Structures are given as C-alpha cells and as structure tokens.
Amino acid sequence: MSIPVLLDCDPGHDDVFAIWLAAGNDAIDLRGVTTVGGNGYLEHTTRNARIALTVAGVTDVPVAAGADKPLKRELTPGAWIHGDNALGGPVLPEPTVPLDQRHAVQFLADTLAASTEPLTVIPTGPLTNIALLLQQHPEVAPKIQEIIWMGGSTGRGNVGAYPEFNAWADPEAAAVVFASGLPLTMVGLNISHQALITEDVIQRIGAVGNATSAFGVELMRFFCSTYEKAEGMPEGPLHDPITVAIAIDRAVASVQRCHVDIETTGEFTAGATCVDLHDMLGKEPNADVAITLDVPKFWDLVTDAVAALA
C-alpha cells in the first residue's frame, strides 16, 4: 500500500530532491506537484518543478502553479542561495511535462475532493497555497491525512537570528496552517542542518550514473557553493526531502509533540516559529516537531530514489 501524496514546493535545489524522493520511492504515490513563489518567482519555481520531473523521466504526475506572492507581503526570492532562476548550476533543459491549467489551490481542492482516501500534503516552501486551500475550500480539510512541512526552527534562523526562510516568507500563511488543527509535522532547520551534503554524499549520488544523478550533482555543487558564501557552510543542508523521508519511514526522524506559535509582528523575529519545547505555556500541542535525523537512512532513501529514476 503506497501513501498518496500532494507535494507543494518552490524549487529550489532541495525541493528538486524532495520531488525525486517522492517520485522515486515505491512507498509514495505522487498524485500532484503544486508550486508557489518562494525560492524564486512563480514562473521559475513552476518551470523548475517541470524540469525536475522531465530530467527524472516522470511524465504522469500533474503540475499546477499556485500563489505568486505571500498572503499579505511581497515576495523576496531566495536568490542568494538558489540563484536568480531558483535553480542555479546546471544548464536547464526545456521541460516537456505539461502544466495543468488550474490554479494550484483549485487543483489541490479538486484532487482531495475526488480522492476516495485521505492524502498526505507535503509543503516544502512558504505555506501560501495551503493556507488559501484551507480558507477557500474548508470542506476538503477532512481529506487531508496530515501535513508534513519543511519550515521553521526550534533555534537558529537562516534569514535572521530566529526566522527560517519558508516561515518568514509567509508567516500569516503559516499561522493559518498551525491553527488548523490538522495533524502537522514541522521539519525545521534544527533537523535539516543534520542532512549535510558532504563530499561523500556527492560522490555517492554521482556514482548512481544516470541523468538524474548527473543533474543532482550539479545542483548539490552549486547549492554548497552558495551556502559556503552565505553561511560559511561548504556542506549545505538538503532540507526539503526530509519531509518525504518521514512520510516513507517514520523511523528516519524522532519528533516531539508540542505547541508552536508563529510570530507575525515581532520587530526582530517576524516569521519565527516559537516552539514551546518545554511546555512553558501549557497550550494544547499543535505539531510534531522533528528533532533528530537518522542520517545514514536518510541518504540511503535519497540515493535509492535517484537510482530508481531516469
């Protein structure tokens, strides 16, 4: 029995690996990829999602483009990490997989409504599309099995002292999702910085020897070079596929159930996830917060998925 999944993303180097892990592992039945403005403008993230599928030879997964900017803010793309087209590094081929003409929010609502079983929703970018889905189509919320989101942090940020990029890009959307009462797992920087792209990892992906692996190595090299410049981290963290890995195998990460508030107004902290790890507030928990990654198991999953693709 495979797990039906909708992946909402903003590719972005690590989003591409999330797409590949979802498409290349038999435990996942990837029912659609939707895109949002985040790492790049929507036109780039949508094109990049189609490129990720094209490179991997995946032709049967619909792609739909969603929100081009956050609910209440302007978009600031993550060009300092991902480049101007959000997928710096490799020469990008023309995508051949088609684009569904529906808005992603409509596509998500239609797909959830038509499904006979609940679907797992995996967002790896700002939560704009998911918040709009819950606001505009609350009737499909019971069809969401769970949400596994890459974003936030229990500690440090990456766009300021505390805020993480996906939460910071659209904190109002994150607040909607965290208040939804839906089963929610937060995969933040505290765990994603355990998924470091070491030289061994790059060699292992390269040794797979297919087109996906060659493209993947170029993505990893660019991503590590910008991480070195921006954060002094020559081994960049491959954040997004941890979400898919958790859907495949819960044992890949430990979690702690707790209450998370989203800071939308702080002078220094807007976009921070306030994770009450020590239950100081006594509030009802609203998320499973991922804490510790089984690093070898994670890279096995990623490598095996790349090997299963074109």
Give the one residue of 62, 66, 78, 83 binding ligand BDR; rule: CB under 6 A.
78
Q: Applying CB under 5 A, which part among 14-22, 88-96, 255-263, 280-288 lies near Ca ion? A: 14-22
Of these, 4, 5, 12, 238, which contacts Ca ion (CB under 5 A)? 12
239 touches ligand BDR by CB under 6 A: yes
Q: Which of 101, 57, 68, 69 is nearest to 212 (CA)?
A: 57
CA–CA separation, 157 and 45 (whole Å) = 23
Instruction: State in angstroms the smallest separation of the CB of 66 from ligand BDR.
Output: 15
Distance CA 145, CA 247 (A): 11
Q: How far is CA 187 from CA 80, 203, 252, 254, in A?
A: 22, 26, 12, 11
Question: Which one of 13, 239, 259, 278 is the catalytic residue?
Answer: 239
Residue 263 interacts with which of Ca ion, ligand BDR, none, CB < 5 to 8 Å by class: none
Which is closer to ligand BDR, CB of 143 or CB of 298? Answer: 298
Which span (54-62, 110-118, 163-171, 197-205) binds ligand BDR, by CB under 6 A?
163-171
Amino acid code (one letter) for 27: A
Cβ atoms of residues 126 and 36 within 8 Å: yes
- Is residue 125 at the binding interface for Ca ion, with CB under 5 A as the rule? yes
Q: How many residues bind ligand BDR (CB under 6 A)?
A: 15
Left (φ > 0), alpha (ψ -120 to 50) or beta: where does 198 sit? beta
Measured CA distances, 68 to 105, 169, 208, 212 (Å)? 12, 12, 35, 28
User: Least distance from C-beta 297 to Ca ion, angstroms?
Assistant: 21
CB nearer ligand BDR, residue 64 or residue 169: 169
- Please give the C-alpha separations between residue 258 and each of 39, 46, 154, in angstroms, as whole numbers: 28, 34, 11
Handedness of CA 94, 208, 190, 278 (dihedral sign): positive
Start-to-end CA distance of the chain, whole Å, equals 24
The residue among 153 and 286 lying less far from ligand BDR, judged by its C-beta, is: 153
Task: Report the distance separating Cα 104 and Cα 182, nearest Å.
Answer: 20
> Do 157 and 193 form a contact (C-beta atoms < 8 A)?
no
Asked if 81 is part of the footprint of ligand BDR (rule: CB under 6 A), the reply reads: yes
Contacts of ligand BDR in 35-74 (CB under 6 A): 39
Stretch that binds ligand BDR, among 135-143, 162-170, 199-207, 287-295 (CB under 6 A): 162-170
Minimum CB distance to ligand BDR smaller for 70 or for 125:
125
239 assigned to active site: yes
Give the residue with the Cβ less far from ligand BDR, 30 or 81: 81
Which one of ligand BDR, Ca ion, none is in contact with 157 (Cβ closer than 5 to 8 A by kind)? none
Spatial separation of the C-alpha atoms in residues 265 and 242, rounded to whole Å: 29
Q: Please report how close the Cβ of residue 71 comes to ligand BDR at its closest, in angstroms.
A: 18
136, two tokens:
């505009």
Contact between 240 and ligand BDR per CB under 6 A: yes
Among 5, 8, 13, 15, binds Ca ion (CB under 5 A): 15
Tokens of 290: 């991922």
Residues engaged in binding Ca ion (CB under 5 A): 10, 12, 15, 124-125, 240
Active site residues: 239
